[in-house]
Amino acid sequence: MRVDCVVNGEPRRADDVWPGESLLHLLRERLGLPGAKNACEQGECGSCTVYLDGEPVCACLVPAGQARDREVVTVEGLAAGPGELHPVQRAFVAAGAVQCGFCTPGLVVAVHDLLARTPAPADEEIREALAGNLCRCTGYEKILAAVRLAAGREESQP
């Protein structure tokens, strides 16, 4: 089947999409957007988080056909322009919250969504909002620090 959708503000088309294909596969393998990561393919880890019509979803669980005529925003679409970082991405770097980086794109989208809804979240709200995003490397403290930084609650460490 053919899937026409808008991805990061641009109309995109994919042909020969098979019925069981995921949105994650469509984005990574057909549209050349490898930002959303494929870690579990079971909706468990959040590394594939993207926006679908403004709602964060696990792209591995969404059939590609459901993106037809809808708007997808991936981590690649968050920054203001090519070669730039979104403030949430800058905060992750500044807080040292990126190790292997596999969880990072999904976390960045989840944090972007959290701060859009709750600009100054308490730690408990941050933990709750990120409960679906697993990280095997950081122990989460630096991720929390990154969110506080992005929310303007903490100064960047030298």
Residue 74 beta carbon to ligand FES: minimum distance, rounded to whole angstroms: 13
- Interface with ligand FES includes 48 (CB under 6 A)? yes
Q: Which of 8, 47, 74, 89 binds ligand FES (CB under 6 A)?
A: 47
Rg (CA), the chain: 16
Residues binding ligand FES: number (CB under 6 A):
22
The pairing of beta strand 71-73 with beta strand 10-14: unpaired
8 binds ligand FES (CB under 6 A): no
User: What are the CA-CA distances from residue 126 to residues 67, 87, 110, 115, 129 (Å)?
Assistant: 28, 17, 10, 9, 5
78 vs 92, which CB is nearer to ligand FES? 92
Among residues 101, 119, 139, 152, the one that binds ligand FES under rule CB under 6 A: 101
CA distances (Å), 98 to each of 54, 137, 155, in order?
A: 25, 9, 18
Place of tokens 């393998």: 29
Our finding on whether 99 is near ligand FES (CB under 6 A) is: yes
* Contact set with ligand FES (CB under 6 A): 38-41, 43-48, 58, 60, 98-103, 135-138
